[in-house]
């Protein structure tokens, strides 16, 4: 298979319809684990956040974390799910050292949330936005596994490893697994829809404040299930499950790659193997993992150590009242309020600047100015230093302070850039940077007038053109004055002074 | 449930549970397990209206209780040394297990 050339995506979707399924694991940001009081700090020393419960020691009894149940209900509600009046945990039995109990406590036939949907928006093949409804099958509570380190192999993979080392700090951290129903969309849009869905889930988790939802740290992980069926057919093909894809872009690439791989197999009359696949960030390909086998018979049974969870309907309604505005509705509302074009809005979202721009506008800045600074000057600096916009050492309030100085005529846009330099370098507030660096524009008409007179004297030809009515020539004189004032002048006022003298 | 359990079923269950059974043990369990399942079936019938029993909801917990929850408050657990004290082998403050075969 690896030797054969893949079928290009665009060719593949002429003959086949992709069928997607997405499973997203969200690690909750609770202070403690799902069934015990161990802390959940990321990056702690190995096996320092463990206890008899999460180590599965004999006699230890689990107790459900109330905060995790609350988070699960809120996630379910935000996904437009029904919330179970009563549900149970189940043991998922398997032999693998990442769970010391030899089972993972999960939910099986009684998930806490089920039958929901989210609407995602993607750019259609005609460039117009298309809204796609993703049906949610279920969202259930479970626990994360420990981390394995395979020693002796050159690649850190299991092959060739002499032995494995286990750190159980992560074992037992609350997870919510969100499973979609099968997703069938216009074939060309499948990769984009998968990406948009995961991006929207992340946005939702952040808005709910239930998870850090950091894909790079594994607190939000996506499994991409994909199968192909001949165009127009209703019979589902065999699916592959690409595990732990860890960025939005990778989700899109994984779908794209699996479509091309499945199509090549099907074209050659071969069968698609039902197996897990690993995604490779470096080249966007996947490779075979574990084939489905008898080992996947998990012999689920209800967890006898935990009492059922029965969310009180009144409490569920109370939680519904705490839900943040749905991300897509908020985006639409803000775009309307700000008067952004579709392109401006898409750029703002793409830069991850929505909340920053919103906070800046809330601090009193005009929408277009807020957008201009975050997507221009500040985005450029974030880009230069390779950081996220949100990680820049400047707050929306500080950006608002800079803009307030501009609005008051005390600095201009050009000086503002130097003010940003100072604020980002930790030199203090915008006001302090202006004072310390002497950046204030010269508003003294006397000094400005002198500079204007000198500019007119030095450029008699230009001055004559302006006297003759060619007002656009004033730009050259304004430039000369600004240069003399080292940028510290209000260009509008300079123009007025020039025209007073030559008009 | 009471329609029996084959020798192959026993072998499959043994493999899932990582229990190494001899041919003689498979023969013996292949005969014993169906008998055990028949006893379980008698209990099932007792709570199944179709079989003339009472309508009793299946339960998974010995107490008829729900919502046994704890607050999200950190409780001190074990130190790494304590956690690893019972481990057959450890390395770099981690549990050491034999290489995992036949996977990935």
Q: Which residues of B touch A (CB under 8 A)?
A: 12, 15-16, 18, 60-63, 65-80, 83-84, 86, 91-100, 103-104
Whether residues A69 and B69 touch (CB distance < 8 A) is answered with yes
CA distance B72 to B54: 41
Whether residues B72 and A86 touch (CB distance < 8 A) is answered with no
Q: What CATH number does the domain containing A455 carry? A: 1.10.10
Q: How high is the pLDDT of residue A157?
A: 58
Joined together, the tokens standing for residue A110 give: 């009684």
- Out of B70, B75, B93, name the one closest to residue A46 (CB): B93
A322-358 b/e with 16+ CB inside 10 Å = b? eeeebbbeebeebbeebebeeebbeebbebebbebbb
- Nearest-CA distance from B53 to chain A in Å? 23
Whether residues A95 and B94 touch (CB distance < 8 A) is answered with no
For chain B, the farthest-separated pair of C-alpha atoms sits apart, in whole angstroms, at 61
| Dihedral angle of Cα A482, A487, A488, A492, to the nearest 10 degrees | 50
Whether residues B73 and A31 touch (CB distance < 8 A) is answered with yes
Helix or strand (DSSP H, E) at A114: strand A113-123
Joined together, the tokens standing for residue A185 give: 């969309």
Among A384, A419, A437, the domain-final residue is A437
Residue A38 sits in the same domain as residue A126: yes
- Would you say residue A1 lies in a domain? no
Q: Taking the CB of residue A409, how many other CB atoms lie within 10 A of it?
A: 13
- Would you say residue B97 lies in a domain? no
CA distance A331 to A327: 6
Sheet holding A82-83, edge to edge: A82-83, A113-123, A129-143, A174-180, A16-27, A220-230, A240-245, A275-280, A285-291
Q: How high is the pLDDT of residue A1?
A: 46
- Would you say residue B58 lies in a domain? no
- Reported pTM: 0.78
Among A292, A319, A346, the domain-final residue is A319
Which residue, among A190, A338, A172, A181, has the nearest Cα to A263 in the 3D structure?
Answer: A190
Do residues A193 and A18 make contact, with C-beta atoms less than 8 angstroms apart?
A: no
Do residues A46 and A167 make contact, with C-beta atoms less than 8 angstroms apart?
A: yes
Whether residues A304 and B60 touch (CB distance < 8 A) is answered with yes
Residue A297 sits in the same domain as residue A383: no
Whether residues A307 and B65 touch (CB distance < 8 A) is answered with yes
SS3 letters across B26-41:
HHHHHHHHHHHHHHHH
Residue A77 sits in the same domain as residue A141: yes
- Would you say residue B72 lies in a domain? no
- Would you say residue B44 lies in a domain? yes
For chain A, the farthest-separated pair of C-alpha atoms sits apart, in whole angstroms, at 98
Joined together, the tokens standing for residue A371 give: 């957008």
The parent domain of residue B29 ranges over 7-51
A-chain residues near B65 (CB < 8 A): 307
Among A437, A471, A486, the domain-final residue is A437
DSSP secondary structure letter of residue A50: B
Phi, psi of A109 (to 5 degrees): -90, 0
Question: On the CB side of A173, how many CA atoms lie within 13 Å of its CA?
Answer: 27
DSSP secondary structure letter of residue B78: B
CA distance A11 to A437: 61
Taking each helix axis from N to C terminus, what angle separates A248-267 and A190-208, rounded to the nearest 10 degrees?
150
- Out of A55, A165, A307, name the one closest to residue B83 (CB): A55
- The distance of Cα A119 from the centroid of its chain, to the nearest Å, equals 16
- Would you say residue B18 lies in a domain? yes
CA distance A466 to B100: 85
- Out of B66, B70, B97, name the one closest to residue A97 (CB): B97
B contact test, residue of A70, A160, A307, A315 with most B CBs within 10 A? A307
B contact test, residue of A32, A47, A51 with most B CBs within 10 A? A47
Which residue, among A109, A121, A117, A110, has the nearest Cα to A137 in the 3D structure?
Answer: A117
Which residue, among A10, A103, A89, A96, has the nearest Cα to A54 in the 3D structure?
Answer: A103
- Would you say residue A215 lies in a domain? yes
CA distance A151 to A165: 7
- Would you say residue A181 lies in a domain? yes
- Give pLDDT tens digits for B25-46: 998 988 888 888 888 888 888 8
Joined together, the tokens standing for residue A287 give: 């490779």
Q: How high is the pLDDT of residue A472?
A: 84
Do residues A225 and A23 make contact, with C-beta atoms less than 8 angstroms apart?
A: yes
Residue A125 sits in the same domain as residue A151: yes
- Nearest-CA distance from A66 to chain B in Å? 5
Q: Which residues of chain A have pLDDT under 70?
A: 1-4, 153-161, 293-295, 443
Residues 6+ apart with CB under 8 A from A35: A53, A54, A62, A63, A64, A65, A105, A143, A172, A306
CA distance A226 to A331: 30
- Would you say residue B75 lies in a domain? no
Residue A123 sits in the same domain as residue A255: yes
Q: Is the pLDDT of residue B103 over 50?
A: no
Residues 6+ apart with CB under 8 A from B21: B10, B11, B14, B29
The parent domain of residue A486 ranges over 445-502
Whether residues A48 and B80 touch (CB distance < 8 A) is answered with yes
- Would you say residue B69 lies in a domain? no
Whether residues A290 and B95 touch (CB distance < 8 A) is answered with no
A-chain residues near B87 (CB < 8 A): none
B-chain residues near A110 (CB < 8 A): none
* Positive or negative torsion for Cα A328, A332, A334, A338: positive
DSSP secondary structure letter of residue A101: T
A-chain residues near B74 (CB < 8 A): 31-32, 37-39
Residue A32 sits in the same domain as residue A175: yes
CA distance A389 to A168: 34
Residue A257 sits in the same domain as residue A334: no
Number of structural domains in chain B: 1
Q: How high is the pLDDT of residue A158?
A: 58
Residue A283 sits in the same domain as residue A180: yes
- Would you say residue A4 lies in a domain? no
Residue A175 sits in the same domain as residue A263: yes
B-chain residues near A46 (CB < 8 A): 80, 92-94
CA distance B60 to B57: 10
A contact test, residue of B8, B18, B65, B67 with most A CBs within 10 A? B67
- Would you say residue A2 lies in a domain? no
Whether residues A159 and B104 touch (CB distance < 8 A) is answered with yes
Joined together, the tokens standing for residue B19 give: 């229990």
A-chain residues near B93 (CB < 8 A): 45-47, 167
Joined together, the tokens standing for residue B72 give: 């999200």
Residue A313 sits in the same domain as residue A219: yes
Q: What CATH number does the domain containing B20 carry? A: 1.10.20
Please list the residues that pair with A114 across neighbouring strands: A82, A138
Residue A114 sits in the same domain as residue A80: yes
CA distance A246 to A214: 9
- Would you say residue B60 lies in a domain? no
Which residue, among A108, A91, A115, has the nearest Cα to A35 in the 3D structure?
Answer: A91
Question: On the CB side of B82, how many CA atoms lie within 13 Å of its CA?
Answer: 11
* Complex ipTM over 0.95: no
A-chain residues near B86 (CB < 8 A): 57
- Out of A38, A46, A162, name the one closest to residue B94 (CB): A46
DSSP secondary structure letter of residue A472: G
Do residues B21 and B15 make contact, with C-beta atoms less than 8 angstroms apart?
A: no
Do residues A248 and A211 make contact, with C-beta atoms less than 8 angstroms apart?
A: no
Number of structural domains in chain A: 3
CA distance A214 to A221: 9
Cα–Cα distances in Å, from A368 out to A235, A371, A420? 51, 5, 18
Q: How high is the pLDDT of residue B92?
A: 94
Residue A71 sits in the same domain as residue A149: yes
- Would you say residue A99 lies in a domain? yes
- Out of B16, B73, B99, name the one closest to residue A163 (CB): B99
């Amino acid at each position: 298979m690896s030797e054969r050339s893949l079928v290009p995506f665009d060719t593949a979707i002429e003959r086949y319809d992709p069928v997607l399924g997405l499973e997203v694991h969200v690690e909750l940001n609770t202070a403690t684990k799902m069934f015990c009081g161990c802390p959940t700090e990321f990056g702690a020393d190995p096996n320092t956040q463990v206890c008899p419960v999460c180590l599965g020691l004999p006699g230890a009894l689990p107790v459900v974390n109330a905060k995790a149940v609350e988070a699960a209900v809120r996630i379910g509600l935000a996904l437009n799910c029904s919330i179970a009046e009563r549900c149970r945990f189940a043991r998922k039995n398997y032999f693998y050292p990442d769970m010391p109990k030899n089972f993972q406590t999960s939910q099986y036939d009684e998930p806490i949330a089920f039958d929901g949907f989210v609407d995602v928006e993607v750019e259609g093949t005609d460039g117009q936005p298309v809204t796609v409804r993703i049906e949610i099958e279920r969202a259930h509570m479970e626990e994360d596994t420990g981390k394995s380190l395979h020693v002796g192999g050159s690649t850190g993979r299991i092959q060739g490893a002499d032995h494995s080392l286990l750190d159980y700090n992560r074992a037992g951290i609350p997870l919510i697994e969100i499973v979609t129903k099968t997703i069938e969309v216009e074939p060309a849009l499948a990769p984009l829809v998968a990406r948009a869905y995961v991006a929207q889930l992340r946005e939702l988790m952040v808005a709910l404040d239930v998870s850090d939802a950091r894909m790079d740290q594994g607190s939000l992980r996506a499994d991409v299930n994909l199968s192909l069926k001949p165009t127009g057919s209703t019979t589902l093909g065999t699916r592959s499950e690409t595990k732990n894809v860890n960025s939005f872009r990778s989700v899109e690439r994984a779908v794209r790659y699996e479509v091309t791989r499945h199509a090549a197999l099907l074209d050659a009359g071969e069968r698609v193997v039902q197996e897990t696949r690993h995604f490779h960030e470096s080249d966007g390909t996947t490779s075979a993992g574990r084939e489905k086998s008898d080992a996947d018979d998990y012999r689920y049974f209800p967890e006898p150590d935990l009492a059922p969870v029965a969310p009180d309907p009144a409490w569920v309604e109370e939680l519904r009242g705490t839900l943040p505005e749905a991300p897509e509705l908020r985006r639409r509302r803000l775009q309307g309020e700000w008067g952004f074009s579709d392109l401006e809005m898409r750029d703002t979202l793409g830069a991850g600047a929505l909340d920053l721009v919103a906070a800046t506008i809330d601090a009193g800045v005009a929408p277009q100015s807020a957008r201009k600074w975050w997507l221009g000057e500040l985005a450029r600096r974030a880009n230069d230093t390779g950081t996220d916009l949100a990680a820049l050492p400047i707050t929306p309030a500080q950006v608002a302070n800079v803009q307030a100085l501009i609005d008051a005529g005390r600095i201009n846009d050009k000086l503002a850039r130097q003010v940003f330099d100072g604020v980002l370098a930790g030199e203090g507030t915008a006001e302090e940077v202006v004072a310390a660096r002497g950046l204030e524009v010269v508003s003294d008409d006397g000094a400005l007038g002198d500079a204007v007179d000198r500019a007119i004297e030095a450029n008699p030809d230009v001055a004559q053109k302006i006297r003759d009515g060619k007002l656009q020539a004033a730009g050259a004189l304004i430039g000369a004055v600004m240069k003399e004032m080292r940028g510290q002048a209000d260009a509008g006022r300079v123009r007025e002074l020039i025209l007073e003298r030559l008009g | 449930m009471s329609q029996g359990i084959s020798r192959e079923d026993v072998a499959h269950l043994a493999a899932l549970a990582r229990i190494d059974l001899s041919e003689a043990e498979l023969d013996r369990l292949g005969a014993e397990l169906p008998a055990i399942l028949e006893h379980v079936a008698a209990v099932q019938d007792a709570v199944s209206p179709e079989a003339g029993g009472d309508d009793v909801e299946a339960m998974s917990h010995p107490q008829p209780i729900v919502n046994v929850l704890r607050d999200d408050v950190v409780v001190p657990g074990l130190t790494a040394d304590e956690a690893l004290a019972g481990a057959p082998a450890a390395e770099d403050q981690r549990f050491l297990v034999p290489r995992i075969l036949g996977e990935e």
